Amino acid sequence: MYVCVCVCVCVRTCVVMRLLTAPANAQIVHSGAACNVKDDNISERIYTIKEGDTLVLQCIVKGHPRPQVRWTKTAGSASDKFQETSIYNETLRIEGIQRVQGGRYYCKADNGVGVAAIKSIRVDVQYLDTPVLTVHQTISDVRGSYYQEKTVFLRCTVNSNPPARFIWKRGSMLIEQSKDNGVDIYEPLYTQGETKVLKLKNLRPKDFADYTCQVSVRNVCNIEDKSVTFRLTNATTPPMIRLSVNDTVVADPGQDVFLTCEVAAGFPVPTVIWSRYPGPLPLSAKVRGATLILRAVTPADAGFYNCTAVNNVGNPARKNVNLVVRTMSNLTFQITPDSNKDSESIQMGRDLKLSCHVDATPQDKVNYTWYKNGAPVFNSDSLILLRSDPDMAPGTSSLEIVDMKFRDLATYSCVANFPGSRVPELRVDVNISQNSVFPPVLAVPTGGQIVSVREGGNAELVCLVVDGKPRPPVLWSRTEKDLLMPSGSPVVETPDGRLRLKNVSRDMMGAYRCQTAPYNGLNIKRREAQVQLNVQYPPILDPVFQDMRSRNYQMVTLRCAVLRSNPPRLTDIRWFRNGDFIRMPMPDLKETPELKFKLEPTNNGSYECRVSNSAGTSTCTFNVSAQPYNAEFYFDTPNPVRILKGNNYSYNLQWTQKEPEATDRIIGYWINVRTQIDLKGKEPERGVLMSHTITDLRIPLSYEVRLAPITTYSTGDYVSRIIQYSEPYTYPRPSDHVCGFEDERICGFSQDRSDIFDWTRQNHLTQNPKRSANTGPETDRSGTKEGYYMYIEASRPRVQGDKARLLSPLFNVTSVRGPKGSGRVPYCVSFYYHMKGKHIGTLNVLLRVRSIASVDSVIWTKSGHQGPDWKKAFFDINPSGPFQIVFEGIRGPSFEGDIAIDDVSITVGKCKQENTVASAGKTGKIEFFVSGKWEKKIK
């Protein structure tokens, strides 16, 4: 844990400049449950992971300005959604990775300098499914009952990565083709997945047995072998089924439906599975054995239901049932005058047709009945019934009146129903008389041809049927055929001809067509009109906001461009500075609004251009100043270097200046308000990296550093960053670096997987408040509450003798001889240990040298209580090759046996003689910036 405070660092001025020439570059690191990481022959990293584990890929990037990271993927399944999107994040994490997510992952880092950096890693997802075993016969050999044929095939199929190895067994005995002439094992062509076939030739009595297909990927990623067993007998037969219902079942809403799939044959006994297309089975569906029960069906339950019987012999048996649920709605009528005479009104002596249509399922099962003044209509010379009118939409019934007479003037009724169904019937009445049917007249009210409305308001478009009987509904659509109505549909029906639009936006603007519907009225040429919707909105300006920086006493021009406006005529243009109106001659309303002035220290501020039309006012805002742009920290600062004298470290703060030429000359920088960095006459340049070394920082505290550029007239805004002590997590070689375990990566140390339990990283702030006070350290060896150390916890469930091992990174020693042939190169291992408690066990330090086989040898050991203080141990080693240091903690007889270590170092050369008692930490003074003022704290 780090304590972040703002400090004043009093140092002598030191400014270093160098040209930043490195563009973005990237490196991929990975974590998660890796089975194997290797390089192929083109030096590409291959990351192997087990299906279901967590994949974590991190893109470590360098370059300034800080690059933007983008992840993409190729060479995976087309169903992988990651291919369709890009992940803009340095870390890519996939929980429960699936096989389709394998492939090549690319990390692209781009900061606009030079060529973007791209790194890739191939992720190989390993898996092994349970195999499927099926039994088949040679069709040409079918004679009599199933297993009197000569040849039987046992086909075993599995999906795996890497390719699986197959083993066949009869009972518990391995089947080897070379030792049994009655079998043949081969791989068939054109199969999906990996397949092995066991062919039993000229079936023998001993061939009736249990057969096991065992598959293995040789324990890669700890994937265990899987197998499937099938018992072959002389009764084995493929499945056969029959349905208890017809291929199509028609039901009323609310009715219970029972579908039974009866198994007629098959051994082993087939398993019956019900499914539905499209979509899954309804939530209310119940499966009892071979019967599917659908309670109180609704139209949403309609579809194809599939029954499949499987016993892995031959091909599965399948049957389908189409469930249709009756529905009926929207009964409409049409009146068609004599089409042969091109008439639009009914006339005596002419033909007339009445049509009736209902939207129904199933459409062909609808029954139409016609009535005249309440009495059923039968076919005659003057009245002709058409069950399905070929001139109309399918499922339409018509009544034709031939050579209309006065006796034919009456009220005609059309009734639609499903015979024998509980679905309610629908009825429509049509009154035919000399003054009850005449063509409609469509009209737009005066002044309604153009409807104007402000954006965000409501509008009503009106198109009325002012005459005609019966009056049909009015249909609305856009005149541009590719545009939909605001509701998202191509056509909207209005019974009264009024189209109401809410929250009108500018994309709704345009022409709308209104038409009489061809139903519920005369079936004649449509009446049509248009209404124009005009949406008014305030001016659209550019820029909405702009930050403008300039040198003092130079001319500045502010332009506010009008991109669009409705109405286009502007009514007013006004300029404001810091909210106050700027008095100036009235600008030309037809030109781009513009303001010119000389920038001075007194007229910096916020400028607004307010442009108005009759619909409203919009604003361009400009923040105008001579204030320099912010500095930009260089993120890739190397790890801080520890100062060997005292418990301090230094930090090399680096930054670049954004657009240094835009404002007055930058003469220096304020760092944390109190200290000025003097540039000594040299101006910052774009792309030039500046640096300043901050010293006397205490390990392992974190600090907030604030930095602001200074010009002759002003100071820029402060930018801040948190700097913190961190340690490198790998050792390229043994060095003078001391690992205090302050970073979560613990300097590249790792837990030994072969031990019983792990070492724990902890500091005073993360200690368990209920822990025993008689064992373990209070703080790290420097005495700070924030400092971390590693320890073993001796409480339950630990028992005496349990071991925890902590492994150092592997040191690749390239030289095995010292100077002037003095033998192997010596190395000094030093560390602090804390062994307080009456039950302390043993702390061993082992040297593990890598050669043909790794060899561990104890090079230091200590047992029992060693007092309440941290103590230092150091000793020389002379490894014969690449080596690791192993810290082994062994639990003592009871819980007061915590052992801790801290500040481990491994250096080249022999150890210097030092005092083995650690200092508890020295008291010093440091200044903190707290609540706006500087205070001194005792540390």
Task: Please answer whether residues 473 and 520 qualify as being in contact, where contact means their C-beta atoms are separated by less than 8 angstroms.
Answer: yes
pLDDT at 803: 93
List all residues 6 or more positions away from 483 whose beta carbon is below 8 Å from its beta carbon: 510
CB 210 within 8 A of CB 171: yes
Give me the phi and psi of 832, to 5 degrees please.
-110, 145
pLDDT at 907: 85
- For the chain, what is the largest distance between any 2 Cα atoms, rounded to a whole number of angstroms? 134
- Two tokens, residue 917: 């008692």
Amino acid 407: pLDDT: 93
Q: CB of 442 within 8 A of CB of 527?
A: yes
pLDDT of residue 814: 52
Mean pLDDT of 813-819: 52
Q: Which two tokens stand for residue 224?
A: 């265990």
CB burial of 727-736 (b: ≥16 within 10 Å; e: otherwise) equals bbeebeebee
From CA 1, how far away is CA 765, in angstroms rounded? Answer: 8
pLDDT of residue 81: 45
* Distance from C-alpha of 569 to C-alpha of 274, rounded to nearest angstrom: 69
DSSP lists the bridge partners of residue 906 as: 829
The residue among 116 and 812 whose pLDDT is bigger is 116
Whole-number pLDDT of residue 928: 30
- Whole-angstrom distance, CA of residue 632 vs CA of residue 612: 39
Q: What is the DSSP string of 551-617?
A: -TTSEEEEE-EEEEEES----EEEEEETTEE---PPPPTTS--EEEEE--TTS-EEEEEEEEETTEE
CA pair distance 14, 812, nearest whole angstrom: 37
Say which CATH topology domain 327-432 has: Immunoglobulin-like (2.60.40)
- Give the side-chain half-sphere CA count within 13 A for 712: 10
Q: What does the pLDDT look like over 259-300, one tens digit per residue?
A: 999 999 999 999 999 999 988 999 989 999 999 999 999 999
Confidence of residue 88 (pLDDT cuts 50, 70, 90): low
Q: How far from chain centre, in Å, is Cα 620?
A: 37
Angle at 260 between CA 259 and CA 266, to 5 degrees: 150
Residue 176, judged by CB atoms within 10 A of its CB (0-12, 13-18, 19+), counts as exposed
Cis peptide before 797 (omega within 30 of 0): yes
DSSP state of 75: S
Comma-separated ranges of CATH 2.60.120.200 domains in the chain: 738-908
Q: Retrieve residue 497's tokens.
A: 């001809």
DSSP state of 445: P
Range(s) within the chain of domains with CATH label 2.60.40.10? 22-75+84-126, 132-231, 240-325, 327-432, 449-515+525-536, 540-625, 631-724
566 near 506, Cβ under 8 Å? yes
Query: What band does 67 get if pLDDT is binned at 50, 70 and 90?
Result: confident
Q: What is the pLDDT of residue 23?
A: 61
- Report which DSSP code applies to 251: E
Give the dihedral sign, CA 240/242/248/251. negative
Helix (H) or strand (E) holding 319: strand 317-325
- DSSP SS3 for 647: coil
Quickly state the pLDDT bin for 639 (edges 50, 70, 90).
low
pLDDT higher than 70, residue 851 = no
Interatomic CA distance for residues 292 and 298, integer angstroms? 16
Regarding predicted confidence, which is higher, 114 or 822? 114
Residue type, 507: D
- Rounded (5°) CA angle 96-98-99: 155
DSSP 299: G
Pick the CATH number of 449-515+525-536 from 3.40.50.300, 3.20.20.70, 1.25.40.10, 2.60.40.10: 2.60.40.10
The class of domain 738-908 in CATH terms is mainly beta
Structure confidence at residue 468 as a pLDDT band (50, 70, 90): confident
- What was the pLDDT predicted at 927? 30
Q: Does residue 726 register a pLDDT over 80?
A: no
pLDDT of residue 648: 78
Per-residue CA distances from 334 to 364, 378, 404 (Å): 20, 20, 17
Would you call 208 helix, strand, or coil by DSSP?
coil
For residue 600, which amino acid is it? E
Percent of all residues in the chain with a pLDDT value above 70, rounded to a whole number: 84
> How does DSSP classify residue 391?
T
Strand ranges in 485-566 using DSSP code E only, listed in sequence order: 492-494, 498-501, 510-516, 521-522, 528-542, 545-549, 555-559, 561-566
Q: Retrieve residue 58's tokens.
A: 């991190």
For residue 923, the model assigns a pLDDT of 29
| Mean per-residue pLDDT over the chain, rounded | 84
Tell which residue, 212, 217, 238, has the closest CA to residue 227.
212
- Number of Cβ atoms within 10 Å of the Cβ of 294: 22
Would you give the DSSP letter of residue 141? G
Q: Which two tokens stand for residue 326?
A: 């009756």
Phi, psi of 35 (to 5 degrees): -85, -35
Task: Identify the CATH class of 540-625.
Answer: mainly beta
CATH 2.60.40.10 fits 631-724, yes or no: yes
What pLDDT was estimated at residue 269?
94
Side chain identity at residue 891, one-letter code: R
Cα–Cα distance between 839 and 791 in angstroms, integer? 15
Burial class (CB in 10 A: 0-12, 13-18, 19+), 252: middle
Lowest mean pLDDT among 97-111, 152-166, 688-702, 709-723: 688-702
Mean pLDDT of 642-662: 79
In the beta sheet, which residues pair with residue 286? 293
Residue 524: per-residue pLDDT = 92
* Bridge partners of residue 93, in order along the sequence: 56
In this model, does residue 7 exceed pLDDT 60? Answer: no
Which residues, at least 6 apart from 770, have a Cβ–Cβ distance to it below 8 Å? none
CATH of 240-325, one of 2.40.110.10, 2.60.40.10, 3.20.20.70, 2.60.120.560: 2.60.40.10
- Confidence at residue 32, expressed as pLDDT on a 0 to 100 scale: 56
Q: Which residues pair with 887 in a beta bridge?
A: 806, 845
Taking the alpha carbons of 588, 592, 598, 602 in that order, is the dihedral positive or negative? positive
Say yes or no to pLDDT of 588 above 90: no
b/e string for 530-560 if b means 16 or more Cβ within 10 A? ebebebbbbbebeeeeeeebbebeeebebeb
Mapped onto helix, strand or coil, the DSSP state of residue 646 is coil
Name the burial class of residue 928, with classes exposed (0-12), middle (13-18) and buried (19+) by CB atoms within 10 angstroms of its CB: middle
Give the whole-angstrom CA distance, residue 528 versus residue 277.
Answer: 43
**In this predicted structure, which of 486-495, 629-638, 655-664, 903-912 has the lowest mean pLDDT?**
629-638
Highest mean pLDDT, choosing among 28-37, 129-138, 534-543, 912-921: 534-543
The DSSP letter of residue 481 is T
What is each CA distance from 692 to 211, 554, 707, 927, in whole angstroms?
Answer: 77, 33, 11, 19
- pLDDT at position 192 is 66
CATH architecture, range 22-75+84-126: Sandwich (2.60)
**Preceding amide of 470 cis, omega within 30:** yes
132-231 falls under which CATH superfamily?
A: Immunoglobulins (2.60.40.10)
Residue 583 tokens read as 């008095």
Q: Is the peptide bond before 700 cis (omega within 30 degrees of 0)?
A: yes
pLDDT higher at 379 or 723: 379
Provide the residue type at 572 as one letter.
Answer: D
Q: Who contacts 533 (Cβ-Cβ below 8 Å, separation ≥6)?
A: 451, 453, 459, 461, 501, 504, 508, 509, 510, 511, 512
**What pLDDT does residue 784 have?**
84
Give mean pLDDT, residues 330-352: 89
| Residue 550 in this model has a pLDDT that exceeds 90 | yes
Choose from 477-481, 633-637, 689-693, 769-773 the range with maximum mean pLDDT.
Answer: 477-481
pLDDT band at 37 (very low <50, low <70, confident <90, very high): low
**How do strand 248-251 and strand 317-325 relate by DSSP bridges?**
parallel
- Burial group, residue 690, by CB count within 10 angstroms (0-12, 13-18, 19+): buried
Q: Report phi then psi at 406, rounded to 5.
A: -60, -30
**pLDDT tens-digit series, residues 241-265:** 999 999 999 999 999 999 999 999 9
Q: For residue 320, what are the β-bridge partners? A: 306
E strands of 97-193, at which residues? Answer: 103-110, 117-128, 132-137, 152-158, 160-161, 165-170, 173-174, 183-186
Amino acid letter, residue 477: S
Cα distances from 742 to residues 3, 899, 902, in angstroms, run: 12, 18, 10
d(Cα 320, Cα 304) in Å, to the nearest integer? Answer: 7
